[in-house]
Structure 1
């Protein structure tokens, strides 16, 4: 996977000219040829339940689930909420500017970050307030406990009052100048905000940002800045107090979040997030070469590895019933067995690309393509 230099940018006056790295697609001329797909085994099928068609320019960047509500943001500033049970649009609004990243939502309060570094917060579909950020953001905001938490590219975590827009606190860590133009980790675990500062998973007190613990998912081993650049990337998998995360093209690891204890870490070469649940006691991910991998959650030992989708551009998997659903950027949804990774079926929503991983709301799998938003359920 290539990592071309994107830009040199001044994020803060006190933080001189950090460099951004752009995650490039693993395809194009000269790359390995994607594995030939076998005939569709059709052992498991997804049935389309509904489709929604937002404006064509409102290509979703990120989807957040709260109960049965899915909230999405589009590049042109459109923010919308959909009832995942029926596909009914609940509301739509404008953030006031093109959106860089979002949305984060608790079902009532929704937050996005615009391209001009404004945090825009909506209450029940109406723009309530905006706040100026000191740097770009690549990670969707977290809305929890009447606060909005933001992770910016200058390695700063800030908390804002969701009602008034007052900035409550911020915590920074000056480190490597290189950061990834890719979402990191920002979730709530009980009464702790769990996020990343570089390749360290950290737990912060939501009230004042006090550092409660930190655990290294990866460590630098290179010589140059590029070789030393390690960030956590993609969605984390949480089961109870177990949080598993990926360091870009380096490792994955699991932390006991109540104490901040690193349980294990293993070498892994990927960029996308992880999936997992308590039923299988496993963590699932797609590697940069297209392999699907399952690791045992307890100790990180490999459970299985499947090479049927090698060199295809895969997003983070999502668990739906007995299957792993993994979207290919070209527009196909692949269904794989959670037991051994074997392919069970596939479907193509509309033939256009899928740029953001599907999400599960109740028993509905929600998939956003360039043309629309689709709800799928397991066929009976």
Structure 2
């Protein structure tokens, strides 16, 4: 089984520790379930871009702007491609290994490096516009408003930089536990707020213009006798949907917060280090045991659970029409019915490993593999 998790080796020990009291049969890796397919998955287009991720768990994801696709690889290369005309637009090399990206702004694209550099490239030409330095590795994809780009570093700091010239506008410091997962949740910017999550199970809302704290909330609190059991890192990005913010922790909980003031609306026990998916009425999560769970977004009640892909290393879910899509660590895409979690389709995807979240595109979805292959698929009856 391929090991392509974004987590450090400490996660492997943590999983063993927190699972030590469970029946071994409960943790057995599931085979591929039999079912009668009701949809087919068609590959409509594909192309390779660079070398993809490396063993340092770079957080690379594609970005889409109308018909333009932006992709980076860990060796410092950033690519722009016109999906409509099937044409390369530009390629740029930032001369530093890329840890996270691509973040997309109005006029710039952004990448973070293992050296703690935030680099802005012109989205039209690929020319480097500026470089700003931070205190440590940037393992989160930069998020941006029209005037401020936000970078989160592995040492628990958030920086706000001017999108125009890279001038540092503010910095927010947050304590980091001694033991964490290898990774950082991507911050999210919406209007005047930046929502960020941290390794101690907390999320904060800051004013994106000046970094002032608007509210702070706790998804879960540490429990257990030693550091491994107390690890409650948030590696999945917070999700903003309407007036709600959703976040989940490893060995902790899934929680819903009021976006305006940060009040906790509900919590459910959950262990997850993946992104969530939300469609207004429902929240979908992948647990650390690769169970897919659907929750009522209003009150947190569980609607259904699919445990038939247990320990198959599922990545973050994507919602497409009436389906929930997940990819396992054997590169199989599984299509589940939103209504009850039953299987609707399955296909092995082109590429080796899929750590990046899938993206919705033109009625289908885009998948970026760990070896730099980008493919667009659609679902057919």
Give the corresponding residue for 2:113. Answer: 114
Give the corresponding residue for 2:178. Answer: 177
Asked if 2 retains the 8 angstrom alpha-carbon contact of 1:360 and 1:366, the reply is yes
Q: What TM-score does the superposition give when structure 2 sets the normalisation length? A: 0.86
Of 24, 49, 52, 2:47 maps to 52
Please, which runs of 5 or more residues in structure 1 have no aligned partner?
Answer: 1-5, 7-19
| Residues 256-295 of structure 1: pairs in structure 2 closer than 5 A | 256-278=258-280, 281-295=281-295
- 1:179 aligns to what SS in structure 2? coil
Asked if 2 retains the 8 angstrom alpha-carbon contact of 1:58 and 1:78, the reply is no
- Using the alignment, how far apart are the partners of 1:86 and 1:347 within structure 2? 27
- Using the alignment, how far apart are the partners of 1:107 and 1:366 within structure 2? 21
Q: Which digits, 9 at most, give the CA deviation of each residue in 1:287-339, with x for residues without a partner?
A: 11121100111111101001121121100100011111101122111101111
| Residues 193-204 of structure 1: pairs in structure 2 closer than 5 A | 193-197=194-198, 198-204=200-206
| Residues 12-91 of structure 1: pairs in structure 2 closer than 5 A | 22-24=10-12, 32-39=27-34, 41-56=36-51, 61-84=60-83, 88-91=87-90
Give the corresponding residue for 1:372. Answer: 373
Q: CA RMSD in A?
A: 2.6
Gap change, CA 1:321 and 1:75, over 3 Å in 2: same
Asked if 2 retains the 8 angstrom alpha-carbon contact of 1:244 and 1:255, the reply is yes
Give the corresponding residue for 1:205. Answer: 207
Give aligned pairs, total: 359
- Using the alignment, how far apart are the partners of 1:57 and 1:213 within structure 2? 37
- 1:227 aligns to what SS in structure 2? helix
Q: Does 1:302 align with 2:290?
A: no
- Using the alignment, how far apart are the partners of 2:329 and 2:87 within structure 1? 26
- Using the alignment, how far apart are the partners of 2:288 and 2:85 within structure 1? 35
**What is the deviation of 1:89?**
3.7
Mean alpha-carbon deviation: is it higher for 135-144 or for 298-307? 135-144
Give the corresponding residue for 1:127. Answer: 128
Gap change, CA 1:272 and 1:257, over 3 Å in 2: same
Asked if 2 retains the 8 angstrom alpha-carbon contact of 1:70 and 1:84, the reply is yes
Q: Which digits, 9 at most, give the CA deviation of each residue in 1:155-202, with x for residues without a partner?
A: 111101112111111011235233321231410133211112431111
- 2:62 aligns to what SS in structure 1? strand
Gap change, CA 1:236 and 1:308, over 3 Å in 2: same
- Using the alignment, how far apart are the partners of 1:86 and 1:305 within structure 2? 42
- Using the alignment, how far apart are the partners of 1:204 and 1:117 within structure 2? 21
Please, which runs of 5 or more residues in structure 2 have no aligned partner?
Answer: 1-5, 17-23
- 1:266 aligns to what SS in structure 2? strand
Q: What TM-score does the superposition give when structure 1 sets the normalisation length? A: 0.86
- Using the alignment, how far apart are the partners of 2:93 and 2:140 within structure 1? 20
**What is the deviation of 1:137?**
2.1
Give the corresponding residue for 2:19. Answer: none
Give the corresponding residue for 1:189. Answer: 190
Asked if 2 retains the 8 angstrom alpha-carbon contact of 1:251 and 1:267, the reply is yes
- Using the alignment, how far apart are the partners of 2:211 and 2:191 within structure 1? 15
- Using the alignment, how far apart are the partners of 2:83 and 2:11 within structure 1? 30
Q: Which digits, 9 at most, give the CA deviation of each residue in 1:80-105, with x for residues without a partner?
A: 23445565444322122111111211
Mean alpha-carbon deviation: is it higher for 312-321 or for 165-174? 165-174
- 1:181 aligns to what SS in structure 2? coil
**What is the deviation of 1:371?**
5.4
Q: Does 1:214 align with 2:213?
A: no
- Using the alignment, how far apart are the partners of 1:379 and 1:81 within structure 2? 29
